[in-house]
Amino acid sequence: MKKRFILYAIFASTLLGSCKQDFLDTDPATEFSDNTVWTDPALVGTFINQIYFRLDEPLTDGRFKANLVDEGHYRGNAASLNFNKSLMTPDGLMGWTVSRYRSWADMYKTIRFCNIFFSKVEEVPFIEDNVDGKSTKDRMSGEVHFLRAFTYHNLVSIYGGVPIITEVYGLEDEFLKERDTYAACVDFMVSELDKAAALLPEKHSGANQGRATKGAALALKARVLLYAASDLYNTTIFPGYEKQDLIRYTSGDRRARWTAAKDAAKAVIDLGVYSLYKGNPSASENIPQNLTEIFLNKSTEEDIFIKYFTTPMGQRAGLYTSPNGYHGWGTNAPLGDMVDAFEMKDGTPFSWSNAVAAADPYADRDPRFYSTILYNGAEWRIRPDDAKGLDTLNRIQTGRWEKWNASTNKMEVVYGVDTRKSTIEDWNGAYTGYYLRKYIDPNVDAQYVRQAVTWRFIRYAEVLLNYAEACIELGLEQEARTYLNMIRKRAGMPDITESGAALKAKYRNERRVELAFEEHRIFDVRRWAIGPEVYNITTKVADIVYPMNSDHTTATKPIVKHIDFEKYAWSNKAYFLPILRDEMNKNNLLIQNPEY
């Protein structure tokens, strides 16, 4: 039987900023034979759109990797909690697999699509053209080199060295392939990204907006090299594991790796294409609103590699993440541990031991706190009709009120409309006392309408952080502070002045809050090899009460504290995920990761 591809025209409108009308009029269910696809550059473009569509991001499914580290909590938490206790096995990856595109099999399917493109590209009758400074053939080839490297980066970040597959296997071919070394995988990704950068334009226009650019290729290269220089891949964590070269470098100069990471990040900076959104705020600006706009605007000057959405193909994240007092589902709820990471406005750490701060813990915090977290008392959107009488102020209610009932002469406890004991939807509330503000569009009623905010795979702030980290590791502390303070200035925070170990700690916390819920923390914890520090904890949640006074009135200001919640546990095996048994059974040349 002849192979056939089902190509969805709607992928293009999902992935790109705009599309030509005649393309949108195409029947979305039309099937084309493989021979037809490679005779029409427009169909080849749609084939590539399918590869973009397969890139793993949390907005579509609605469940973030933040729930698998010390950022967030998923209220349907059994699988995530097991992951956070390091209970993953070759028979189950627990909460990791909530998105199909995170799986070994599906990522290799994505790689297969890339390989098919390269096996067919010379057959395509491209016309001689020049759009945004590149021919269609070069631009498409650059995109697929980038997409293949992007997918391998995800695989390698999860498993260490994996089989590098560049050919298209047929049914009669030998499928067995051993894992390549970690070093070989890094070299392959860098080579792919160098090819992509040479073939891609700096900017796309018109219907091509949203596709990979030269800057995206260089920025991903900087991320790959930053990871490669990090502790996990340059120290011996599993001394008894026989195949060390699958999970780390076994030779070479680590300082040279940090230098390569630094130079790669600086190459993105030196393009002069990107800048921080509203990077120089005035004293009168609403900085939390500026920061909120980064994740609600369709595009900004900070965007390097993004994914656009349209409303019909919009995201579950708005519904999944919104407070239950708005008929949201309360997933991806920030933990108290994440809340405590946000500094005070003056740049000092927040501490519950500070009596003044503890008495009013949501006051005078880093402006990024207010753009990231919905906390008790935070202003939000107008309540739905069935909740308006319960909250006339449209403020988040995750506390409880002690009120005197004169008719019974007893105190009663009234729970906030966004708590687990809400009279609206008590089964959907977050357990943590917090909800995620970042990415959630207050102009969309998520109960009925899917939102369509842009997902940022790579943005300029990450590049600045990557550059600063490499500088710190190379002893270039003043250079690191210069670039860190660009981000701090945009956030309305005072300059970092620390040095040595204090600077490194400050940097890591800065990265944590700046990139909160952007799918970085789970990988940063692992590449920094700080699993025991982060996971051997009992997580914290907010306990909020408006106490009843002695005169039977109720206090207008709550008492807030963080209390123990769930206990995590760490095993070093969790630095890498296991290859599932099904994959091991298919390919007996694969070697399992350590301690599985």
Q: Which residue has the higher pLDDT, 2 or 70?
A: 70
Query: Which pLDDT tens digit goes with each residue over 395-440?
Result: 999 999 999 999 999 999 999 999 999 999 989 999 999 999 999 9
Q: How confident is the model at residue 31 (pLDDT cuts 50, 70, 90)?
A: low
**13, pLDDT greater than 60:** no
Asked if the model's pLDDT at residue 551 lies above 50, the reply is: yes
Distance CA 237, CA 591 (A): 17
Residue positions counted in the chain: 596
Contact of 203 with 132, CB cutoff 8 Å: yes
pLDDT at 105 over 80: yes
CATH class of the domain defined by 4-53+103-271: mainly alpha
Extract the runs of DSSP E, i.e. beta strands, from 104-207.
none
3-state DSSP call for residue 583? helix
Q: If you average pLDDT over residues 552-578, what whole number do you get?
A: 98
How far, in Å, are 117, 172, 313, 519 from residue 512 at the CA level? Answer: 38, 48, 30, 11
What is the model's pLDDT at position 305?
Answer: 98
Query: How is the chain split into domains, by residue range?
Result: 4-53+103-271
Sequence-distant (6+) residues with CB within 8 A of 473 are 229, 258
What average pLDDT does the segment 466-491 reach? 98
Instruction: Look at 2-16, 42-56, 173-187, 553-567 and tell me which has the smallest mean pLDDT.
Output: 2-16
User: Does the reported pTM lie above 0.85?
Assistant: yes
Residue 369: C-alpha distances to residues 70, 291, 363, 372 (Å): 16, 10, 10, 5
pLDDT of residue 175: 82
pLDDT of 8 higher than 90: no
Helix (H, G, I), strand (E, B) or coil at 102: helix
pLDDT of residue 120 exceeding 60, the answer is yes
Confidence of residue 32 (pLDDT cuts 50, 70, 90): low
Across the chain, mean pLDDT equals 93
Model pLDDT for residues 339-394, shown as the tens digit of each residue: 999 999 999 999 999 999 999 999 999 999 999 999 999 999 999 999 999 999 99
SS3 content of the chain, % helix, strand, coil (to 5): 45, 10, 45
Per-residue model confidence (pLDDT) at position 116: 97
- Is the confidence at residue 172, as pLDDT, over 90? no
